[in-house]
Structure 1
Amino acid sequence: MFAGTMLIGALVAAPITEVKARDWPHVLLEDLAAADAAMRGSHPGAVDHLNPGFGSQLHGALALARSRAGKVDSFAGYWWAMKGYAASFNDGHVSLNALAGAPELPTRWPGFLTGFDGDAQVVMTVEGGPGHPPLGARMLSCDGMDAKTLAARRVGDFSGRWNLQASRIHGGGEVLLEQGNPFVQALQACVFAVDGRETSYALQWAPLDTVQLKKRLADTRRSFRPANGWHTMPGGGYWITTSSFNADPTEPNFNELTRLIEQLAAEAEGLQRSPLVVLDVRGNSGGASQWSLALARLIWGRTAVDALPDSSWVEWRTSEANIAQLRSFLLKLETAPDASPELLRMLQTVTSGMAQARADGVALWREPSQPTAEAAPAGGQRAPAHTGRVVIVADAACGSACLDALDLWKRLGAIQVGVETSADSLYMDVRPERLPGGMTRISVPMKVFRGRARGSNEPHAPDHRYAGDMRDTKALEAWLIAL
């Protein structure tokens, strides 16, 4: 199985200035029409008899975005209208991404940003100088609007899934940013709890460049993507980091994880005898499940892993665009020397099965179950080869195939530490749809999961919550060993 970000890479807007005037309402309406057509033509929800409300969701998302066209007179207005459209689906797999060369959003900040600590919004990064609340000050309201409502309207309505703690951790730093969004009010003053007193601060807006924006937002999220790799720990433990499950053979991550699996295969006996194995997935937003399956087989043994019962299955939307996307990825894998034979077989089965189903007029094609290497024993599941502790370190970035990894590892006995993960719907495996305006593309899910034990948009909660900075690996390791 693969999910989420395996099929498309990261998309970053180039920091250039908008130089030519455009009919922005027309661009918005044209791109909305193309996005709506892609969703109706390729999203499994549009033909999913188990989700009869999806048609209304499509209609509502389009109607809301179209209603905003009158306020769109720049790229920023276009961007936030399109962001609101994608957010209406409340699905992390339906996302809007800027293409290289898209105009840069004008960004200003008041000299400090807040982030979420539980339900509270507190100052997490601040520029030196007077007139700013101190680090740790709790935001109560701005311009008469309470902090909770403020965050939901300024960020949640344009990012979606605001009910998830992970979404608030990821997006909370944007509450006090001004980025040209014409659908929210500019802020004048905010009230903070400081040393037991309520103190009002007038907001003094100043430009914030792209480099500083990235750094300041990282401070509010307290998360980062460590390098893939592994090392031994005191007492014979193993710390294994997989910060991405991207399986694109043209990307560096593919070669890094291939080497990692090869190195750990030579350590399989030590892994299985180790008193502690740490699986570090900080920063991992998904990719392909082949990596987490391979790790599980090395740690718990192939026999125990392949004997786990699995009553889930998937159905693929048989659109021409979806089939073409999968065929393109299959061609990449066929030329990669280290491609997983299992993933290759799966893609070959899926592409041919979808093509035949489309020819037969079948809109959703059920992927056949893949036989495992070991049949389940008559007396129940086989005992795992590893009997020591296995601990998963996860943060709010964990989504898609990272969540699938936790599904599997926790069934095998692993415990989770860190913070609550993100979550995904039952629609996944996205393909990119480039929109005609030439500045953005929207991701369109291609398959629907059936029979999954974890519900739609249900996160994984940690068994032990880490209250410190998730970027401090040394402190995190010391805390974990002491558990």
Structure 2
Amino acid sequence: MVIALLLMVAGVAAPGSHTSTIDWSDTLLKDLDAADAAMRGSHPGAVDLRNPGFGAQLDEALAVARSRADRVASYQGYWWAMKGYAASFNDGHVSLNALADAPDIPTQWPGFLTGFDGDAQVVMTVDAGPGHPPLGARLLSCDGIDAQTLAARRVGDFSGRWNLQASRIQGGGEVLLEQGNPFVPTLRSCIFRVNGREQAHALRWTPLDPGSRKERLADTRRSFRPANGWHRMPDGGCWITTSSFNADPTAANFKELTRMLQQLTAAADALQQAPLIVLDVRGNSGGASHWSIELARLIWGREAVDAVRDGSWVEWRASEPNIAQLRGFLEKLKQAPDASPALLRMLETVTEGMVQAREQGQPLWRASGSDPAAAVSQAEQVGPGHKGRVVIVADASCGSACLDALDLWKRLGAMQVGVETSADSLYMDVRPERLPSGMARISVPMKVFRGRVRGSNEPHVPDRRYDGDMRDTAALEAWISGSGSIPLRPNRRSGAAAAE
């Protein structure tokens, strides 16, 4: 993902009394129609001749969601019907987000939650109450439904891409949450395997406040978003953390990464001589490829990075809302004193090209090229290229531009450790579409990738899996520094490694 687009993170407000008078079934139907219109009018898939089944997918998604309207009598019903609609596209770039006017969804839990450890669902967090299965107990079934089917029905059907390990890691903690979803039954009892024996546990539901919910779910994911920055390691190595590639010039991340790149440029000699460089992208769900390309040039040198060619290109859906989104971002970027000139030129070129295509009646505009190494230029080449080890630490959050970073870094010789990443489809660079109710927005992809080596919804698989807690940076650093079995070069069979 080359261009970062502005998806404002909106909080969820406390429930308002006015919601009691809302016809939630009618609200759902109107928002579904608006979402469907946005997808048909601006999503490249709707005019993608290489994906002739997308129209039928739009029809089915709308029909299934509309069929649930007669069971929607509350905000919770509305929310989960809309979530199911977005999830049906199996595309992380088609997501639903609550807006500030949305009421809260009360959550209950049984005093413990499970999470995914490989294919197994095990208890990962418990409160101090009595009668809970112990940490590490394996969930076998609930109310006669096996654990795998249970997770797919209760979470996967409303989050999408459940075939991905990363999706199960990210969402698996919600299997034993009650969140007012009228399309799944309330669970009564579950069976666990503890020390080789089966144990039944009745579920006693109690309220879980939002703060505790966030902490408990973090325990099931065992990942978090560390602060951007870098530090020298005891053995002379360099640990560089980029936990977001957001390119919004008003965001703190933009200033943090700009400052860090300036510092690393000044320390280029030490960076080139470091025996080990760790590129930490834990918590990074994407943004703009500008940052990863700049880092690559600092580490491997301009010549090596510019030699990477992938032969891919993109086509943009030339709709008026898409053009307006890019124009808005371009104007915002022009106000930033540290904005990349190359990124500005790119936005101007894309916007002008989309306008011309629309005037000519062309639904898609093809960009002249999207080679990641050629996307951003730097005034000077820094150093002769890194000769030591480069290790990428990635978790299940890694998506979009984070995946693009791994595409490039791994081709340059870096190896990946941690857990399997998320994945993305070939439709990306989203814009937010606010729905008529004011309760939610849906993200709509604006471009389609052509000729990408990494396939649609294909994750990066680590060369070495880390089985510990991905939140423990000190333990990770000690493991990487002290493990002589981590090879210098990656295993090219893992993930989406491209041909050299």
Pair in the same fold by TM > 0.5: yes
Show the counterpart of 1:433. 433
Q: Is the 8 A contact 2:293 2:372 kept in 1?
A: no
1-side partners of 2:91 and 2:391: how far apart?
28
Deviation (angstroms), 1:303: 1.3
TM-score (norm 1): 0.96
Corresponding residue for 1:442? 442
Quote the residue 1:14 is aligned against: 13
Is this contact kept in 2: 1:18–1:104, CA < 8 A? no
- The equivalent of 2:102 in structure 1 is 102
Instruction: Tell me, yes or no, if the aligned pair for 1:244 and 1:283 is still in contact at 8 Å.
Output: yes
- The residue that corresponds to 2:230 in the other structure is 230
1:384–1:402 Cα change, 3 Å: farther
Q: How does 1:68-467 map to 2 (within 5 A)?
A: 68-369=68-369, 385-467=385-467
**Counterpart for residue 378 of structure 2:** none
Off by >3 Å, runs of 4+ in structure 1: 15-19, 370-374
2:425 counterpart SS class: coil
Give the Cα–Cα distance (whole angstroms) in 2 for the partners of residues 371 and 313 of structure 1. 7
In the alignment, what sits opposite 2:496?
none
Deviation at 1:147, TM superposition (A): 0.2
Alpha-carbon separation, structure 2, partners of 1:369 and 1:139: 49
**Aligned mates of 2:274, 2:235 — CA distance in 1:** 9
1:17 and 1:204 mapped to 2: Cα distance?
28
Q: Provide the rounded CA distance (Å) in 1 between the counterparts of 2:14 and 2:347.
A: 37
Secondary structure of 2:184's aligned partner: coil
> How many angstroms does 1:402 deviate by?
0.2
Change (3 A) 1:123 1:463: same
C-alpha RMSD of the superposition: 1.4
Distance in 2 (CA, whole Å) between partners of 1:209 and 1:373 is 46
Cα deviation, 1:159-180, whole Å, max 9, x if unaligned, reads 0000000000000000000000
- Supply the distance in 1 between the matched residues of 2:68 and 2:139 (Cα, whole angstroms): 30
Rounded Cα–Cα distance in structure 2 between residues aligned with 1:357 and 1:432: 22
Deviations 1:400-436, CA, capped at 9 Å, x for gaps: 0000000000000000000000000000000000000
CA offsets 1:40-96 (integer angstroms, 9 cap, x no match): 000000000000010011001000000000100000000000000000000000000
Structure 2: how far apart are the matches of 1:117 and 1:208? Answer: 24
Query: Does the residue aligned with 2:178 lie in a helix, a strand or coil?
Result: coil
Task: For residue 31 of structure 1, report the CA deviation from its aligned partner.
Answer: 0.1
Aligned ranges 1:36-55 → 2 under 5 Å: 36-55=36-55
Structure 2 Cα separation of the partners of residues 130 and 80 of structure 1: 32
8 A contact 2:314–2:370 mirrored in 1: no
- Residue 186 of structure 1 and its aligned partner are, at CA, apart by 0.7
Shift of 1:133: 0.5
Quick one: distance in 1 between partners of 2:193 and 2:200? Answer: 9
Q: Which runs of 5+ in 2 are unaligned?
A: 375-382, 484-500
Q: Which moves more between the two structures, 228-237 or 80-89? A: 228-237
CA distance in 2, matches of 1:371, 1:422: 22
C-alpha separation between the residues in 1 aligned to 2:350 and 2:372? Answer: 17
Residue identity opposite 1:298 in structure 2:
L
Alpha carbons 1:6, 1:286 under 8 Å: kept: no
Alpha-carbon contact 2:101-2:438 (below 8 Å) kept: no
- Give the superposition deviation at 1:10: 2.3
Inter-partner Cα distance in structure 2 for 1:469 and 1:350: 42
Gaps of 5+ in 1: 375-382
In structure 1, what residue type is equivalent to 2:262?
E
Q: For 1:398 and 1:62, how far apart are their aligned partners in 2?
A: 29
How much does 1:6 deviate? 3.5
Partner residue in 1 for 2:58: 58
- Helix, strand or coil at the partner of 1:327: helix
Q: Which stretch of structure 1 is more off in the superposition, 125-134 or 29-38? A: 125-134
| CA deviation map 1:205-263 (0-9, x unaligned) | 00111101001000000010000000001221100000000000011110000001100
In 1, the alpha carbon distance for the partners of 2:330 and 2:287 equals 15
Query: Does the aligned pair in 2 maintain the 1:304–1:384 contact within 8 Å?
Result: no
- Partner Cα distance (1:208, 1:312) in 2: 47
Aligned to 2:33: 33
CA distance in 1 between partners of 2:389 and 2:104 (Å): 47
Partner SS for 1:163: coil
Give the whole-Å Cα distance in 2 for the aligned partners of 1:282 and 1:384.
Answer: 28
CA distance in 2 between counterparts of 1:467 and 1:373 reads 33
Structure 1 contact 312–450 (Cα < 8 Å) conserved: yes
Secondary structure at 2:227's aligned position in 1? coil
Q: Secondary structure at 2:447's aligned position in 1?
A: strand
The farther-off stretch of 100-109 and 138-147 is 100-109
C-alpha contact (below 8 Å) 2:311/2:371 kept by paired residues: no
Q: How far, CA to CA, are the matches of 1:176 and 1:373 in structure 2?
A: 44
Deviation at 1:13, TM superposition (A): 1.5
Q: CA deviation at 1:372?
A: 9.2
- Counterpart of 1:302, as a letter, is R
CA distance in 2, matches of 1:10, 1:199: 42
Amino acid at match of 1:87: A
- The answer (yes or no) to whether the contact 1:6–1:245 under 8 Å persists in 2 is no
User: 3-state SS of the aligned residue for 1:220?
Assistant: helix
Cα displacement (A) at 1:373: 9.0
For 2:413, give the aligned amino acid.
Answer: G
- Going from structure 1 to structure 2, the CA distance change for 1:337 and 1:402 (only over 3 Å counts) comes to same
| Matches of 1:445 and 1:96, distance apart in 2 | 13
Label 1:158 to 1:22 Cα distance change in 2 as closer, same or farther (>3 A). Answer: same
Of residues 130-139 and 156-165 in structure 1, the stretch that sits farther from structure 2 once superposed is 130-139
